[in-house]
Structure 1
């Protein structure tokens, strides 16, 4: 398991940062940005309509990101799929979607 705070977990597991349009590393839901700002519009929390991310799909998107040789080629893939390559993707048995815990340090504190 990857058990650390949100910024570290996302970087370690190859997910985009907390300020990206992706809601979380467990689903593929992407939010829009508020008009004329860089802030995320977090409305529309209808969890029942969200599609859960799969470990295999995540690995394929990470490999697609890695296969792009330039930053300009990687950026659109990262925006679309909300994932980057991590060295943990090399572990074929490790599912980063299910193996990344959502911020356990603060959950235990609360």
Structure 2
């Protein structure tokens, strides 16, 4: 079982420039061994002026997802005990990032959107001054919880959209866009 980690950092002092490291950790290892550098699988490095959006992260996730799909089915990997190869299966157990990176990686809109909650369909309005979202004055009992099936369906609709304007509308309406993790 694997944990997908994406962590952004500033490599240079005094310069606005971000790098995002994508790496996997193997949850089957003991906790004290799991995060040792020899046991962490470095997947890629994203660079740019700021943290990447979902559409940009997808370019990095696509080859990873292809390999993870193969690992899910099983891949024969040679070991010292079994030089001819032993069948190894793997799957992502969880995505561990800060909130904005996790939402971008998984295809959900950020906290500042009108649909800031990936769990329900609650639509928030803007403050009267137009600055920021009003995350109050809502009735919890009116919320309808999203399902994995509905989120994936909305993400697929976003992916199939014919224009950026339609994608923006769907993203605002549903709080979801396509992620390679779907």
TM-score (norm 2): 0.46
Contact 2:107-2:179 within 8 A present in 1 as well = yes
Report the secondary structure of 1:2's partner residue.
Answer: strand
2:152 to 48, 59, 63: 59
Structure showing the higher helix proportion among its residues? 1
Q: CA RMSD in A?
A: 1.4
Residue in structure 2 matched with residue 102 of structure 1 by the alignment: none
Larger Rg: 2
Between the aligned partners of 1:20 and 1:49, the Cα distance in structure 2 is 19
In the alignment, structure 1 residue 85 sits paired with structure 2 residue 178: yes
Contact 2:109-2:116 within 8 A present in 1 as well = no
Matches for 1:10-49 after TM superposition, within 5 Å: 10-49=103-142
Aligned length: 89
Instruction: Using CA pairs under 8 Å that are at least 6 residues apart, name the structure with larger relative contact order, 1 or 2.
Output: 1
Structure showing the higher strand proportion among its residues? 2
In structure 2, the gaps of 5 or more residues are: 1-93
- Runs (4 or more) in structure 1 with deviation over 2 Å come to 44-49
2:169 to 56, 61, 76: 76
TM-score (norm 1): 0.73
In structure 1, the gaps of 5 or more residues are: 90-110
